[in-house]
Amino acid sequence: MSHDAKHAEHHHPTGNQYLKIAIILTVITIIEVWAYYIPALVASPLFNPALIAMSAAKFVIVVAFYMHLKFDSKLFRLLFTGSMIVAACTLTALMFLFGKLAI
Amino acid sequence: MANHAAAAHAGHDDGHVHHHYTTTGLDNRKIAVWTFIGSECMLFASLISTYLIYKGKSIVGPFPHTEYVNEAGKVFKPILDIPVTSASTFVLLMSSFFMVLALQAVQLKGKPAPAATAGWWERIQRNSQFWLAATALMGIVFLGFQAYEFTSFVHEGLTIKTNLFGSTFFTLTGFHGAHVTVGVLWLVTLLWIDRTRGLSGANDELLVDICALYWHFVDVVWIVIFTLIYLIQ
């Protein structure tokens, strides 16, 4: 077993840390839904970027801690982030192609 | 090469757990599941792109966030039900929490038992069957919410053929629901194995780990869908 693989096995969070992560995810979700019902916030130009930022935070937390990507082998990180980059580039290119985004 | 083959063969004869390690030092099944998840990222990115490209281009209602009045004067309210979907999102988030505890419970099986004075939280963290069942149950509840949502949409006049929103919405969330269904079946299978022969040891930990990776991926896809489709207007 490589050093990378051995290293991965010893640094997983504990049950209490998983519980704290679940509470953080729940709180972010509550803030997202609460914001949706405040018309002044919805009208703000910062509403959509803020929602995307909160969603991205939840995404990263689940991937890093629940999927153990923070503690696992670099190869897994490479496989996932590489695919995510390709996916994000495809999405952005399509948005430009179909006029949803413009420079 | 011959030494590797001989060592692998010897492990087979001893009846030990067999690891499928590669030259990277990692189990090839875990590499495979991460590669699969990578390909799934691209699948869902294409489905989300399609939804976003056609967003706001439906000619007839019902619409997701705004009212629509048809030629006959019939009023269609905004069709998305945020409170119901928020509840289903919470259910899926909790299922991810339960899944990670299921994996931890299997990993703790080889460790010394907790002290007699340990509280219920320490004891229940070692009950893999409980957490696997709880995760599968949360998945089933999520699917119930989705079935309710789809049914109510159809009753309110939105089908996959009604407009561009209906086509892209049902395709995207339907694909996600299909993934959740596969995950629930996978969890139920693991639960059955745990009940019949018990899940323990490095090989079984990996089986649960792979299922957990898939389940968390399904959760992160929903995190994106919930924001992009339901909350952003």
Reported as a single tens digit per residue, the pLDDT across B178-228 is 999 999 999 999 999 999 998 888 888 999 999 999 999 999 999 999 999
Reported as a single tens digit per residue, the pLDDT across B93-147 is 999 999 999 999 998 887 777 777 778 887 788 888 999 999 999 999 999 999 9
CB contact under 8 A, A29 and B89: yes
State the pTM of this model.
0.87
CB < 8 Å to B212, chain A: 66-67
pLDDT higher than 90, residue B21:
no
pLDDT value at residue B17: 52
CB contact under 8 A, B30 and A76: yes
pLDDT value at residue B24: 78
CA dist., res. B183 & res. B177, Å (int): 10
Termini Cα distance of chain A: 49
CB < 8 Å to A94, chain B: 49, 53
pLDDT higher than 50, residue B57:
yes
User: Which B residues, 119 through 148, put their C-beta within 8 Å of a C-beta on chain A?
Assistant: 121, 125
pLDDT value at residue A13: 83
Q: Considering only alpha carbons, which residue of chain B is nearest residue A49? A: B232
What's the sign of the alpha-carbon dihedral B91, B33, B190, A68? negative
CB contact under 8 A, A83 and B125: no
Mean pLDDT, all residues of chain B: 87
CB < 8 Å to A71, chain B: none
pLDDT value at residue B64: 86
pLDDT higher than 60, residue B175:
yes
CB < 8 Å to A83, chain B: 37-39, 41-42
Is the distance from CB of B143 to CB of B180 less than 8 angstroms? yes
pLDDT value at residue B147: 96
Out of B90, B99, B231, name the one closest to residue A51 (CB).
Answer: B231
Taking the Cβ of residue A34 and every Cβ of chain B, the question of whether any pair is shorter than 8 Å is answered with no
Task: Please report, rounded to a whole number, the percentage of residues in chain A having pLDDT higher than 70.
Answer: 89
pLDDT value at residue A67: 92
Q: How many CB atoms lie within 10 A of CB B107?
A: 19
Residue in A31, A65, A66, A97 to test binding to B, most B beta-carbons within 10 Å:
A66
Out of A12, A66, A91, name the one closest to residue B216 (CB).
Answer: A66
Average of pLDDT values for B43-70?
A: 88
CB contact under 8 A, A55 and B46: no
CA dist., res. A25 & res. A60, Å (int): 11
Q: Which residue has the tokens 């914001």?
A: A35
Q: How far is B72 from chain A (nearest CA, A)?
A: 30
Q: Please indicate whether residue B76 or residue B180 has the higher confidence score (pLDDT).
A: B180
CB < 8 Å to B21, chain A: 1
Q: How far is A103 from chain B (nearest CA, A)?
A: 17
CB < 8 Å to A95, chain B: 49, 52-53
Average of pLDDT values for B162-187?
A: 95
Reported as a single tens digit per residue, the pLDDT across A32-50 is 999 999 999 888 899 999 9
DSSP bridge pairs for B21: B27
pLDDT value at residue B70: 82
pLDDT higher than 80, residue B13:
no
Name which of B199, B196, B197 is nearest B211 in CA terms. Answer: B199
| φ and ψ at residue B27, rounded to 5 degrees | -70, 130
CA dist., res. B220 & res. B92, Å (int): 10
CA dist., res. B137 & res. B143, Å (int): 10
| φ and ψ at residue B35, rounded to 5 degrees | -65, -45
CB contact under 8 A, B93 and A25: yes
Taking the Cβ of residue A86 and every Cβ of chain B, the question of whether any pair is shorter than 8 Å is answered with yes
Question: Minimum mean pLDDT among B4-18, B69-83, B147-161: which range?
Answer: B4-18
pLDDT value at residue B20: 63
Listed as ranges, residues in chain A with pLDDT below 70 are 1-11
Question: Minimum mean pLDDT among B59-68, B151-160, B187-196: which range?
Answer: B59-68
Q: How many beta-carbon contacts under 8 Å exist across A and B?
A: 133
Is the distance from CB of B160 to CB of B167 less than 8 angstroms? yes
CB < 8 Å to A54, chain B: 227
